[in-house]
Structure 1
Amino acid sequence: MLTEAPKYSEEEFDLSVRAAWLHYGAGLTQGEVAKRLGVPSLKAHRLIARAHRDGLIHFTIDGDISDCLRLEEKLRQRFGVKFCEVCPDLDDEPLPLLTLSIAGSRFLRRSLETGEDQIIGFGHGRTLSTSVARLPNMSIGKRKLVSLLGGLTRRNSATPYDVIHRLAARTGAETYVLPLPFYANSVEDRAVFLAQRGVREVVELGIQASLRIVGIGTMEYDASSVATGMIEREEFDAARAAGGMGEVLGHIFGIDGRVIENGLSARTLSMPVAEIGRHKTIALAGGRSKIDAIRAVLASGLLYGIIMDERTARTLTA
C-alpha cells in the first residue's frame, strides 16, 4: 500500500519514485539514475534517500510509475529510441493535453536548466505550446532557442500554437524565428525562400541544434496544418493517398517509416529530412488519434526519443 502522501510536490514525488525504481528495481547506480533523469548526481542521491525515508521502498516500490518505466523499456526495445518517458494518464481525452503538457513542461524545464545544450530547436503545435505555457519565468543565460520551421499561415498571420515567441517571453533568451509559411507554394519558391539572407542562417542554426523538441502531426482532417490553412484539403488528400500517416517538421512518413516523397513534402520550409536524425530530436506526442502517426514516425528511426502518455504507450507496445 502507499504510505501517507509525502509533503512535497507531485513532480518531486514522481521523480523520487522514478529514481527509486531505477536504482533499486533496475539496478542502476546513482550516477546512471542522474543521467537517465537529467538531474545532478547530488539530486539523484537525495531523491533516492527521500523515497526510502518516506516509506516508498519495501520489497517492491509503491507507485504506478513503475508500470510506466516498464513501458518505456518496451518502447526503447521495439523502436530503438535512446530516450523514452511515459507519463501516468491524468485525463481521458482523444488528445491527453494535461498529461502531455505537464510532462512536456517538466522536460523543457530540465533541458533549459541543465545548460547541456547551447542551441535548442523547437517545432510548434498545441501540445508544445501548452507545455511552454506551464513553464515558470526563467533565466537561462546565453543559450539560443530557434524555430525549426515556418509558421505563417494563409488564414492567420501566425500559427495560433506558436512556441518560439512564448519561449522568448518565458525565458528572455535569444530566440530565432523563421518568418516563413509552413509550406512554400512551389519547389522553386522554397529554394528562393531558403536562400534569403537571414533565413538561411536560422535554418542552419536549427540544423546545428544539439536538441530538438518537436510534435508529431496526423494525416487526419483535423490536423493543425489543415485547420489553420497551412495546406489545402486536396494537397492533404494526395499525401494520404500516397500512404502518409504521420508528419514531423513538415516531412511525411508512411506506416513503415519510409519518407513519402510528393509535392507537399518537397515544399516544406524546414531542415532536410536526413538532418532530423543527426542530433537529438525528441517528440512530444500522444492520444488515440495519433497512434498511427506516432508509429510511422518512430518506425523512421529518426527520433532520438519520445515523451508520451501511458495509454498511448500501452497501445504501441501491445
Structure 2
Amino acid sequence: MEEELTVRALWLAYIGKFTQDKIAQFLNISRQKVQRLIADGIAKEFVSVQICHEISALIEIEEDIKSKFGIEHCQIVPRMPGKAQAEIYMESLGLAGSTYLFKLLSGPDEKTIGIGMGRTLSHVAKHFQKRTDIDLNNHKFVPLIGSFTKKSAMNPMNLMYLLGEKTNAETYFLPAPLFVDSVAERDILEKQGSVKNVLDLALKADHYLVGIGEVGPTSALLNYGLISKDIQNQLRSKGAMAEIVGKFIDKNGKLVNHPINHLSITIPIERLRNKSVVAVCSGLEKIKAILTVLKTKLISGLITDEDTAGHLLKCP
C-alpha cells in the first residue's frame, strides 16, 4: 500500500505537475508525507526518464480489461485531479505509449511499426526519448492513413518526422490526403507507386499504434475541419459509433454506409483484425467508441486512464 501511494505521488508530481499541497489534498495525506513519499521513490529509483514502477490496483484493472475484452495488452495510467484532466491525461498516455513503443523497438529483431492518427499519438511521439545507448535505426515507421491538408500536431506526416528524428529509424510518408473528393481520385492516387508502396508496407507492418475517435462534438476530424458537421450528423444517423484509421464503423465493427468511407486513403480496417494493434486513447466522451472497437476485436491492446478503464468495466 505504501509503495502504491509512492508511485501515485510520483505520477502526480512528475507527470501531472501538481504542487505538493495539491497532491496531499488529492491523496488525503499530509504535505510532509508527500515529501517523504517522493523522496523515497527517488531513492528507490522509481523515477528515471520514465516512472519505472507500477501500481498494484492498476495492474488488477489491467487484468480485468484484458479478461473482459479478450485483448493481450493493457496499460492504465493513474487518475489525476483537477479540471484540466484531459491535457494531463494526454501527457500521461503519451509517456505510457512511448514506453510501450520503446519496448517494441528494443528487441533484437527489425520491426515495422504502423502509426495511425490522434492527439494522443502526437504526445507519444513527443515523449519518446532520443537514446544514445541503444541503436534503433534498423526499424521502420509507416503511416496507416493519408495526411492532413492543415497543419496539426496529430498529422501523420508530423508524427513520422518526429519519430524518425528521435529514433533515426527509416520513416515513410504517404504523399496523399486522408480524404479526397471522389472515388475516381482515390483509385488514381492508390495506384501511384509512391502511394501504393507505402500502403503495401503498412499492410505488412509488425505492429500498429492507433487512436480511436468518437463521432461527436469532441471529434478531432470535426474540430480540425477534415469533416463537416453535416457529414458527422449523417454518419451518426447511419449508426456510426467510432472512427479508427480514418474509417467510421457501426456497433458491429462494420463500415458505415456513407460516401466518406469510400473517400479516405487508409489501410482497410479488416486488416487490423488478428494483428498486434494497440490503441492509445482516453476520455469519458469516447467510452462508446472505445467499447465498440474493443467488442468488435479491431484492437489487441489498449493504453488508457484509470477513469476510462473503470467505465469500460462497468459497461455491459
For the criterion TM > 0.5, the same-fold answer is: yes
CA distance in 1, matches of 2:153, 2:282: 20
Matched, 1:69 2:59: yes
CA distance in 1, matches of 2:273, 2:302: 13
Alignment of 1:161-180 (within 5 A): 161=154, 162-180=158-176
Letter in 1 for 2:104: S
Matched, 1:97 2:90: yes
Aligned to 2:13: none
**Which of the residues 231, 254, 260 maps onto 1:235?**
231
Aligned to 2:19: none
**Which of the residues 288, 308, 311 maps onto 1:312?**
308
Superposed CA deviations along residues 80-107 of structure 1, whole A, max 9, x for unmatched, are 1111112212355246212211211211
- After TM superposition, the structure 1 stretch with the greater mean CA deviation from structure 2, 66-75 or 248-257, is 248-257
Aligned to 1:10: 47
CA distance in 2, matches of 1:202, 1:115: 24
Alignment of 1:248-287 (within 5 A): 248-287=244-283
**Which of the residues 174, 185, 188 maps onto 1:189?**
185
Aligned to 1:135: 128
Letter in 1 for 2:103: R
CA distance in 1, matches of 2:203, 2:81: 35
- Structure 2: gaps spanning 5 or more residues: 4-36
Report how far residue 14 of structure 1 moved. 5.6
Letter in 1 for 2:98: S
CA distance in 2, matches of 1:73, 1:260: 32
- Structure 1: gaps spanning 5 or more residues: 19-64
Report how far residue 78 of structure 1 moved. 1.7
Compute the TM-score of the two structures, normalised by the length of structure 1. 0.78
Superposed CA deviations along residues 108-146 of structure 1, whole A, max 9, x for unmatched, are 222222244511110122111112111221340221111
Residue aligned with 2:304, SS: strand
How many residues are paired up? 268
CA distance in 2, matches of 1:263, 1:102: 37
Report how far residue 15 of structure 1 moved. 4.4
CA distance in 1, matches of 2:261, 2:71: 24
CA distance in 2, matches of 1:278, 1:195: 26
Partners of 2:125 and 2:159 within 8 A in 1: yes
**Which of the residues 74, 78, 84 maps onto 1:84?**
74
- C-alpha root-mean-square deviation of aligned residues, in Å? 2.1
Aligned to 1:112: 105
Letter in 1 for 2:66: R
CA distance in 1, matches of 2:81, 2:144: 29
Percent identity, aligned pairs only, is: 28
CA distance in 1, matches of 2:96, 2:50: 14
Compute the TM-score of the two structures, normalised by the length of structure 2. 0.79
Partners of 1:87 and 1:103 within 8 A in 2: yes
Aligned to 1:21: none
Residue aligned with 1:219, SS: coil
CA distance in 1, matches of 2:166, 2:106: 13
Letter in 2 for 1:124: M
